[in-house]
Homo-oligomer: A and B are copies of this chain.
Amino acid sequence: MADDRTGPAGIVLSASVARRFYLDGRSKVEIADEFGLSRFKVARLLDAARESGLVRIEIRHEGEIDVESSVRLRDRYGLQHAVVVDTPDDDVASLRGHLGRAAAQLLAEVITPDDVLGLAWARAVSAMAEALPPLPGTPVVQLTGVLSLPGGPDTSVDVVRGVARASGGAAHVFYAPFTVPDAATARALRQQPEVASAFAQLPLVTKAVAGVGQWAPGQSTLYDVVSDEDRAALHRLGVCADVSGVFLSADGEPVHAELSERMIGISADQMREIPEVVVIPYGTAKACAVRAALRSGLVGGIVTHTALAHAVLEG
């Protein structure tokens, strides 16, 4: 008859004890003395209170960052950093701005004076570059050739130059297109001193930022500029995603395509050597490509929005 933990007195006692422990920060010994219980009894009451839901602990951030999804992404894919921004995604330009700013904050936070930054070309990377505060003398390396879109934003060269100018570090840039008509031209371009010099920096790059495309119309800038034959060929090879020109199958395996021979940019092997590659994907349609990128092991960081994070996690 003595004490039934589910009765009113038990509930109120548990709540009192829980309040003292969790909110007032008292030790269990103090609480035991105060209530005339043994410290073991206090421990059991507290366990029961958590078990029964009387004490609820929630981890929630008031700001823009969706910590729940961030942590889940980080844990699920063993990432170094994951930042999920809780922002409406109906307006793509605004969304890209939000992600760019979040990525800029992330980069500013994790970069050290010893880092060498690599930048691939993507619209989200441009957005990030615009929001980036001056970095501590960080050298910046261009990872991909120029994919010029009429009326589009800055080219990869412009972005790298801009970031390096602000940081005061060296800018390792090269003027070459991302794709060329044949492999021989690509080989010749790679021999050019400027290109070769930039590529020689690749092993030194410690942090890089890239976009993610899905191999489908409107989901990859690269997809949208290559020929129908190239599109079909990569489809046949099972390409699902491209990360700055590195093609991946749905399960994250790098796919070497003939098109790769005709591109001036970082390879899968080179990307693997970079300690942390941060990607900035957006749009729920890209969930499959993002999963491929995260599974590939090439990517160590992600900045995205809630809807895509959910799509990736629930798939």
Provide the residues of chain B in CB contact with A60, threshold 8 Å: 54, 56
Q: Which of A66-74, A225-233, A261-269 touches B? A: A66-74
Q: Check A83 for interface membership: any CB of B closer than 8 A.
A: yes
In angstroms, how far is the closest chain B Cβ from the Cβ of A67? 4
**Alpha-carbon distance between A38 and B227 when the two chains are bound, in angstroms:** 54
Q: Which of A6-14, A173-181, A210-218, A235-243 touches B? A: A6-14
Q: Which residue of B lies closest to A106 (CB)?
A: B8
In angstroms, how far is the closest chain B Cβ from the Cβ of A299? 15
Q: Which of A16-24, A142-150, A199-207, A250-258 touches B? A: A16-24
In angstroms, how far is the closest chain B Cβ from the Cβ of A131? 12
- Is B113 a contact partner of A15 (Cβ separation < 8 A)? no
**Alpha-carbon distance between A68 and B18 when the two chains are bound, in angstroms:** 11
Contact residue among B1, B54, B112 (Cβ-Cβ distance under 8 Å from A59):
B54
- Which residues of A in the span 1-43 have a Cβ within 8 Å of any Cβ on B? 1-4, 7-12, 15-16, 18-19, 22-23
- Is A12 a contact partner of B111 (Cβ separation < 8 A)? no
Q: Check A109 for interface membership: any CB of B closer than 8 A.
A: yes
User: Known contacts A7-B106, A8-B106; is A16 also within 8 Å of B74 by CB?
Assistant: yes
Residues of A within 8 A of B (CB): 1-4, 7-12, 15-16, 18-19, 22-23, 49, 53-63, 65, 67-68, 70-71, 74-75, 81-83, 102, 105-106, 108-113, 136, 303
